[in-house]
Amino acid sequence: MSDIKVTRSVTVTNCEGLHARAAASVAGLVRRFESRISLVKNCERAEATEVLQLLSLGAAQGEELRLEATGQDAEEAVEALVRLFAGNFAEDGGHSNQ
């Protein structure tokens, strides 16, 4: 059985970018999946379970990130991440229209 590989792009719409609380939300979400998941900005790669690596990307509002997942639940994991980004990391105060 081979692993599934899924790649999608997302745009950071949260006005504070991928800050600490948002990075913790990403890491917490991806820990529920078995797939190996990375976020890529330009040529920089961060393991999605590692908050400090996610923060090191310095992803600001309006920047595009590539989601890469490999594993049996890769599609489900990427879809969940896309929803998290689209919902501004479930932060009510994260206005995206500034």
Per-residue model confidence (pLDDT) at position 96: 43
Distance CA 35, CA 51 (A): 17
Residue 98 lies in a domain: no
79 part of a folded domain:
yes
Average pLDDT value for residue range 7-25: 95
Global confidence as pTM:
0.88
Gap between the Cα atoms of 86 and 13, Å rounded: 7
Q: What is the pLDDT of residues 37-60, one digit of tens each?
A: 999 999 999 999 999 999 999 999
In a domain, 29, yes or no: yes
Residue 13 belongs to a domain? yes
List CB contacts of 65: < 8 A, sequence separation 6 or more: 9, 10, 11, 12, 18, 39, 40, 41, 57, 59, 85
Given pLDDT bands bounded at 50, 70 and 90, which one contains residue 1? Answer: low
Which residues are catalytically annotated? Answer: 19
Domain CATH for 45: 3.30.1340.10
Number of separate domains in the chain: 1
The domain in which residue 51 lies consists of 4-90
